[in-house]
Chain A
Amino acid sequence: MITMQLLIGIGAICGVSTVLAVIMVIADATIANYGEVKVRINEDKELVVPGGKPLLGSLMEQKIFIPSACGGRGSCGLCKVKVTSGAGEYLATELPWISEEEKKENIHLSCQLKVKKDIGIRIPERLFNVKEYAAEVVSLKDLTYDIKQVTMKLLDPMEIVFKAGQYIQFQVPEYELSKESVYRAYSVASQPSVKDSVELEIRLVPNGICTTYVFEHLKEGERITINGPYGEFFLRDSENEIVFIAGGSGMAPIKSILYDMREKGSKRKARYFFGARAVRDLFLVEEMKELEKDLENFSFIPALSEPEEKDNWTGETGLITDVLDRHLENGDGTEAYLCGSPGMIDASIKTLTKNGIPEELIYYDKFA
């Protein structure tokens, strides 16, 4: 009797669930089926994609990569694209990221915008240069106690074209800290003439999804996926004197730019202020000394904010902003390139503008 009741119960649950599941499957194939839709890019290219999916993912399947740090969850606000036709209304999930001016221009978050009918979009041409690369980790080296140098050999495609200073995105696979694969952005530390490999400098962030993965799980010989290059952080062509400012792993893009300048025989006057806490936070000092010899008008100025007794430090001390303040006299004909924590960048911008360097000549990569 009890078994009978149990069987009826199980049967009823299964029956109800089956009926509902069938309804859902039918709905999915009819109501939610948008067929194939066309995406026109820059009034030029036309792609045919399955409808009903977010634009970001649809473009990614077609090997067009819009920069996005959160991987499509609508939490970074980077994947903006200009929609020229077929956009529809803004979703509440987009609004926090879209300013009034951007609204007028019909700029949407591509991870939230679903492609349900033919649409036209406009993206910068250089994004077509962005590719996905399969790569193999060939070396992992400790630069300091909390910064690792990761060198990857590109397998497919085998070469990358980028400007010194740009960044790539590193795909972290699923592992214990992250249930889904996520992307994190890192500046390329190697120079563009090295086409078959990419070097990154990664600083350990406690509990950071990507940095924990790199520090505790990544091994030499492992296959990983990266995509890029992205970013507007590269040396502008001018005769201006250059001020580089970096802290921690912000060294990476500056190193790339400096090596590139050496290869091109640049004679521009350049000073590189590197902020660190103590000697144990300094790295690549020898390489920078080499550069001072090879580049005619370049000087490297490391500054320690809290040198330890045992360091016997004779160089600059103090916060990077104080050191800057002491060295800058006249901002005329100077441009600045900054890479580091948001706090350091904001403080440095203040010091630079105070010393007469106009904001439009200050370029930076802010990695939160």
Chain B
Amino acid sequence: MSNGITFYAIFFAAIFTNNILLTNYLGMCSFLAVSREVKTSQGLGMAVAIVMAATSVLNWLAYRYILVPLDLVYLRFIVFIVIIAAFVQLIEMIIERVSDSLYASLGIFLPLITVNCAILGVCLFMVIREYTLLQAFFYGLGSGIGWALAIIAMAGIRQKMAKARVPKGLAGAGITLIIAGIMALAFMGFSGMIQIT
């Protein structure tokens, strides 16, 4: 593959400098809706990280060995979405089977993230940037961890903010978006560390 970025550079870049949520603003809906409590956002963040890491590998394989050889790259959107949906369903069934406590803390979020655009976004970026399998896996994992980091930080802030008096017109999604913007500025401070495009 053309680029020679090491996988750990991609991994850290995906967490900090190229955080999928704060630089690309993907995955906003669940970020806004489920960031009220640190505990629930931990569950959701973990679920996103696992699904991103796994589906980026699966979709990489599907892209490389099915779509490219058959010259069907234009179908990648639909194929990626179908694979993500099936994987999420499958992992939900497995978690429900093996562990009650894991299902209680993580499983119920899985249906929420089937349609999370950040997950599809990761799969599309890795294709555009022509990552290798190893790079794709670490890009997926890093992005997932980055997304989790952002939502947990946001939940922490919102928990503290619950006691503050927010002007009525800004309460709810309004103030959350403003906080997300300031968080994005803060994350830009990392940008001197590593850069990937």
Contacts and interface: CB of A to CB of B under 8 A. Distances in A.
Contact of B108 (A13, A23, A31, A92): A92
B75 A90 contact: no
A9 B82 contact: no
Interface string B55-93: 000000010001100111011001100110010011001
A67 B138 CA distance: 50
A322 interface: no
Nearest to A21: B86
B76 to A, nearest CB: 11
B93 A31 contact: yes
B70 A20 contact: no
Given A16-B62, A24-B89, A9 B75 contact: yes
A92 B104 contact: yes
Interface string B80-116: 0011001001100110110011011000100000000
B71 A32 contact: no
A91 B78 contact: no
Contacts of A174: none
Contact of B97 (A5, A8, A31, A92): A31
B75 A27 contact: no
B132 interface: no
Contacts of A32: 93, 96-97
25 contacts: A9-B75, A12-B66, A12-B67, A12-B75, A12-B79, A13-B75, A16-B62, A16-B82, A16-B83, A20-B82, A20-B83, A24-B89, A27-B89, A27-B94, A28-B93, A31-B93, A32-B96, A32-B97, A88-B100, A89-B100, A89-B104, A90-B104, A91-B103, A92-B43, A92-B108
B94 A31 contact: yes
A85 interface: no
A9 B72 CA distance: 6
B30 interface: no
A17 interface: yes
Contacts of B62: 16
Contacts of A23: 86, 90
Query: Interface of chain A, helix or strand or loop or mixed?
Result: helix
Contacts of B195: none
Nearest to A32: B93
A91 B75 contact: no
Given A32-B93, A89-B104, 15 more contacts: A5-B71, A9-B72, A12-B72, A16-B66, A16-B79, A20-B82, A23-B86, A23-B90, A27-B89, A31-B90, A31-B93, A31-B97, A88-B100, A89-B100, A92-B108
A219 to B, nearest CB: 39
Contacts of B82: 16-17, 20
A93 interface: yes
A114 B93 CA distance: 13
Contacts of A5: 71
